[in-house]
Amino acid sequence: MSRAVFASSARLPGGWARDVTFAIDEAGSLASVTADSRPAPDAERAAGPVVPGQPNLHSHAFQRAMAGLAERVGRAGAGGKGGSGEGGGANDSFWAWRETMYRFLPHLGPDELEAVAAQLYVEMLEAGYVGVGEFHYLHHDPAGAAYADPAEMALRLIAAARATGIGLTLLPVLYGYGGFGGQPAGEGQRRFLNAPDALLAVVERAIRELAGDPQGRVGLAPHSLRAVTPETLRDGLAGLAALDPRAPVHIHVAEQTKEVEDCLAWSGRRPVRWLLDEAGPDARWCLVHATHMTADETRDLAASGAVAGLCPTTEANLGDGFFPAPDYLAAGGAWGIGSDSHISVDPVEELRWLEYGQRLLLRRRNVLAGASGHLGEDLWLASAAGGARALGRPTGRLAPGCRADLVVLDSESPCLAGREGAALLDAAVFAGNRRPLRDVMVGGRWCVREGRHLAREAVRAGFDAAMARLTA
């Protein structure tokens, strides 16, 4: 049944407007958006100003269950590439963190993945994320064998998204190797590995499962240039194009300096340059992290139309470095945010880290402000637009044809007192630590009311049971 929501103020693509009626069709999309309107007698009234919801363009759901496990020095078995973790933080790195992840993985089965993902998605929705790009590479059982249905783990993620109401762009990951040039994968990677044909079968199965569901989309994610060869990358992309020529493509790239050095040794080119030259990324692509780029790479990535997928809290947690944000934005580059390893699940914190990192690096303020001069609003809207492009779904804007994804700000929040218009999002992002969000609608369905997800208790019970098994 179609419905209407009336808001006293809302941030529309053309700016802030008053007395806005959102007409929502039966599929959960915005049929019309009318400013300076009178509320219809049967219209619901939003309890505060309405803004677009945020897409979370990069998630590894299973890592929600291991958040915090790598935050101690000298943890047993944290050796391997990058150091042992002994002797203080000087020897700790992304590569040591990765060993912690590998030790955690054997305990995670389909039931645990679904419960952890559902809990994560509840937390995302309560934070104002309305869609998620699930970069899914936990395909097989702990021995590395395919499940009876090779798409079992992908289907569990779809089930978690449906149970919680979040929009989902599922990105099954092509992962075949352990290093540049087709180096053999390690024991800890055996649950990830697929040849292109096997991975494309998972993609096709997910497409069938989500057929006709406007809340879902399927793409493909070559994990990184470390994990594919030019041949498997080509075959994966060709197979995806045969299934859906407009499907999103995501890839990790240039996150760590060691990755850049290894790519140079393998190909004579840095990873972003190799991708730009050989793969031709366009507006369907999302290059996740892209932390370490030259000035030319930064300019050319911006010109390609691809989205830079930035995950500031995870990048800080892993000691990755600083994305060249001022130059990228000056070149007109599209970008969005993701929570990645989920040591934080909050778009406000991601946006703050993005800006504050640049302030510390450059010793200036309001580094990333756009033309409006309102930093919080500029960051929120740019991230919403770039994230929507990366997820390949019509979200990120309150306009006809887009999904009815509405975030209602909490007018009672002290940080919003006396604020209106653009100053509302400036304050929502940069004033205080209490989340000033009240209600969240996704696809025409209220998922969060008064800050609480409607299925919070049931989902939490499943999560607690799963964590008890994982930590037994």
The DSSP secondary structure of 297-356, one letter per residue, reads: HHHHHHHHTPEEEE-HHHHHHTT-----HHHHHHTT-EEEE--BT-S---HHHHHHHHHH
DSSP 93: -
Give pLDDT, residue 46.
98
Residues 6+ away with beta carbon under 8 Å from 213: none
Report, as an integer, the average pLDDT of 60-64. 94
Give pLDDT, residue 91.
62
Question: How many of the other CB atoms lie within 10 Å of CB of 54?
Answer: 28
Instruction: Please report which confidence band the pLDDT of residue 371 belongs to, taking 50, 70 and 90 as the band edges.
Output: confident
Give pLDDT, residue 2.
84
Higher pLDDT: 325 or 85? It is: 325
Q: Which of 228, 218, 282 lies closest to 253, judged by CA?
A: 228
Choose the weakest-confidence range: 64-68, 176-180, 399-403.
64-68
Whether the per-residue pLDDT at 324 is higher than 50: the answer is yes
> In which residue ranges of the chain is CATH 2.30.40.10 found?
3-52+405-458
Residues in the chain: 472
Greatest Cα pair distance in the chain: 68
Cα–Cα distance for residue pair 157/184, rounded to 1 Å = 28
Q: Which of 180, 382, 362, 192 lies closest to 271, judged by CA?
A: 180
Whether the per-residue pLDDT at 470 is higher than 90: the answer is no
Cα–Cα distance for residue pair 98/183, rounded to 1 Å = 17
Cα–Cα distance for residue pair 134/338, rounded to 1 Å = 10
Whether the per-residue pLDDT at 142 is higher than 50: the answer is yes
Give pLDDT, residue 84.
33
CB burial class (10 A; 0-12, 13-18, 19+) of residue 3? middle
Report, as an integer, the average pLDDT of 189-197. 96
Instruction: Please report which confidence band the pLDDT of residue 96 belongs to, taking 50, 70 and 90 as the band edges.
Output: low
Choose the weakest-confidence range: 3-7, 88-92, 209-213, 220-224.
88-92
Report, as an integer, the average pLDDT of 131-135. 98
The neighbouring-strand residues paired with 335 are 308
- Give the amino acid at 42: D
Give pLDDT, residue 333.
98
Whether the per-residue pLDDT at 355 is higher than 50: the answer is yes
Give pLDDT, residue 77.
37
Question: How many of the other CB atoms lie within 10 Å of CB of 283?
Answer: 15
Whether the per-residue pLDDT at 262 is higher than 80: the answer is yes
Secondary structure (3-state) at 120: helix
Instruction: Please report which confidence band the pLDDT of residue 85 belongs to, taking 50, 70 and 90 as the band edges.
Output: very low
Most confident by average pLDDT, 83-92, 106-115, 242-251:
242-251
**Mean residue pLDDT across the chain:** 93
Cα–Cα distance for residue pair 92/79, rounded to 1 Å = 9
Whether the per-residue pLDDT at 80 is higher than 70: the answer is no
CB burial class (10 A; 0-12, 13-18, 19+) of residue 331? middle
Q: Which of 58, 137, 117 lies closest to 391, judged by CA?
A: 58
Angle between helical axes of 375-391 and 347-362 (0-180°, round to 10): 120
Whether the per-residue pLDDT at 66 is higher than 90: the answer is no
Let me know: does 111 contact 100? Beta carbons within 8 Å.
no
Percentage of residues in the chain having pLDDT higher than 90: 88
Q: Which of 154, 166, 67 lies closest to 391, judged by CA?
A: 166
- Using one digit for the tens of pLDDT, what is the confidence trace for 427-460? 999 998 888 999 999 999 999 999 999 999 999 9
- pTM for this one? 0.94
Question: Which residues carry out catalysis?
Answer: 289, 340
Whether the per-residue pLDDT at 87 is higher than 50: the answer is no
Cα–Cα distance for residue pair 165/160, rounded to 1 Å = 8
Give pLDDT, residue 93.
56
Fold exhibited by the domain 54-71+93-391: TIM Barrel (3.20.20)
* CA angle, residues 437, 59, 183, in degrees to nearest 5: 165
> In which residue ranges of the chain is CATH 3.20.20.140 found?
54-71+93-391
Cα–Cα distance for residue pair 444/438, rounded to 1 Å = 16
Cα–Cα distance for residue pair 334/331, rounded to 1 Å = 9
Give pLDDT, residue 70.
66
Whether the per-residue pLDDT at 94 is higher than 70: the answer is no
Superfamily of domain 3-52+405-458: Urease, subunit C, domain 1 (2.30.40.10)
Give pLDDT, residue 244.
98
Q: Look-up: residue for tokens 């096997």? A: 198
DSSP 252: E
The neighbouring-strand residues paired with 309 are 288, 336
Give pLDDT, residue 83.
34
Q: Which of 85, 90, 63 lies closest to 74, judged by CA?
A: 85
Report, as an integer, the average pLDDT of 458-471. 94
Cα–Cα distance for residue pair 9/27, rounded to 1 Å = 24
- Using one digit for the tens of pLDDT, what is the confidence trace for 164-191? 999 999 999 999 999 999 999 998 899 9
Give pLDDT, residue 69.
73
